[in-house]
Amino acid sequence: MGTILDGAGLAKKIKGELHEKVKKLNKKPGLVVLLLGENPASKVYVKHKEMDAEEIGFLSKIERLPVTTTEEELLDCIERYNQNDDYHGILVQLPLPEHINEEKVLLAIRPEKDVDGFHPMNIGRLVSGNPLMTPCTPYGIMELLEEYKIELSGKTAVVIGRSNIVGKPIATLLTAKNATVTIAHSKTKNLAEVAKSADILVVAIGVAEMVDKSFVKKGAVVIDVGMNRNAEGKLVGDVKFDEVAPLASFITPVPRGVGPMTRAMLMKQTLEAFERTL
């Protein structure tokens, strides 16, 4: 059985360190989350973010908007917070209703307040090796690997998934640490064979328990970004944990793996955004 990468434990440690820093400040860092509609999963995620922010001592606000909110109204709301010096981080909870252009919304957030790290300018800075804000899930993965002193230089890494939120940025971050990276996806031929070449395997394909032991070589580090419900309603990742864990040297569980780290990095970047204003 591989070593469990305890994302929940590390996230708790990071939030504790942030809380100690915030206690010494004369002004609270501010985080606002814009939530459109009543998507149950989004409401749960936003509630967790609110709890994290309050626990650390941030000024925390959830701006709840009806699903009928127009694109123009949402853009106006974002601009109000762009101009509000009490809020240093702005997060628009995704997914958005179909009538709203997600790209236009992400472009509207000032890059220095884009604590999710999705603004094209922030992605460009990440790729050029001069990051300002980093997408939180890849950032959290890198922190987890560093905490457990997992060597990346010279290693072969395979990322299954090519999203702008996880796949592409984690490939960039791993490359910056001198790993040799392959991005694979649902159209990759012989996907299991490609994955099995990896010393570091990051799975972010969004299919419940798709990756079984045939994808994993003995001793690999396995990072499971997935968050799915199986047929029994149980929360599972993209990796068949019980099959893969005996082969892996390190592995993230679902839950309590990557998820808590994503939220911790959101909080860390909010404090960093505040500090840059001083």
Distance CA 212, CA 47 (A): 32
The torsion region of residue 91 among left (phi > 0), alpha (psi -120 to 50) and beta comes to: beta
Selecting among 15, 49, 168, 240, the annotated active-site residue is 49
Binding site feature residues: 161-163
- Largest Cα separation within the chain, whole Å, is 56
Is the separation of the CB atoms in 266 and 55 below 8 Å? no
Is the separation of the CB atoms in 62 and 81 below 8 Å? no
- What is the separation of C-alpha 273 from the centre of its chain, rounded to a whole number of angstroms? 17
Instruction: Tell me the H-state helices in 71-119.
Output: 71-82, 102-108
Per the annotation, the verdict on 93 as an active-site residue is yes
Per the annotation, the verdict on 49 as an active-site residue is yes
| Neighbour tally for 59: CB within 10 Å | 17
Binding site feature residues for NADP(+): 161-163
Selecting among 52, 114, 116, 199, the annotated active-site residue is 116
Selecting among 93, 213, 224, 240, the annotated active-site residue is 93
Q: Count of alpha carbons within 13 Å of 4, Cβ hemisphere only? A: 12
Distance CA 89, CA 271 (A): 9
DSSP run (H or E) holding 89: strand 89-92
DSSP run (H or E) holding 147: helix 136-147
Per the annotation, the verdict on 85 as an active-site residue is no
Catalytic residues: 49, 93, 116
